[in-house]
Amino acid sequence: MGDPRLASRLKEVRTAAGLTQVELAALAGVSRKTVNTVENGVFVPSTILALSLAKALGTTVEELFWLAD
């Protein structure tokens, strides 16, 4: 499910926003384990999920995810 090419700072942005995984999951309309597995890099989110997470955190997808070198 994971892909080493995908880098993420979802966890950093979430904690900086003062949100728990449960709170972010509720804002994005997904389960906590979805947020958990995306943060841990074991699940690559779809475009829609990435946009939902970015919207919930008030940022852009590029700020959350990028291609690792």
Partner 1 sequence: MSEDDHDPEAEYRALIRLEHDRQRRTLLAALPLAFGAPALVVVFGVVIAGLAQGVWLWVTIAGGLVAVGVTAWGAIQLNAANPDDQTLALAKRTDWIDEAQRARVYGMLYTCILAFIFIPLGLSAAGDMVSGEGNAVRAPTALVALLIPMMQILMLTGRDGGITKKMRKYLDDEHTQVLRARACGTGLAVAMIAAGGAYLIGLWRAEVAVVLMLPVLFLGSYAAVIHYGLLERKAERGG
Residues in contact with partner 1 by the rule CB under 8 A: 1, 14-15, 20-22, 25-26, 29-34, 36-37, 39-40, 42-43, 45-46, 48-49
Contact in structure between 9 and 39 (CB atoms under 8 Å): no
> In terms of CB distance, is 22 or 69 closer to partner 1?
22
> In terms of CB distance, is 64 or 69 closer to partner 1?
64
> In terms of CB distance, is 6 or 26 closer to partner 1?
26
Distance CA 39, CA 44 (A): 9
Contact in structure between 28 and 49 (CB atoms under 8 Å): yes
Question: Amino acid letter at 38?
Answer: V
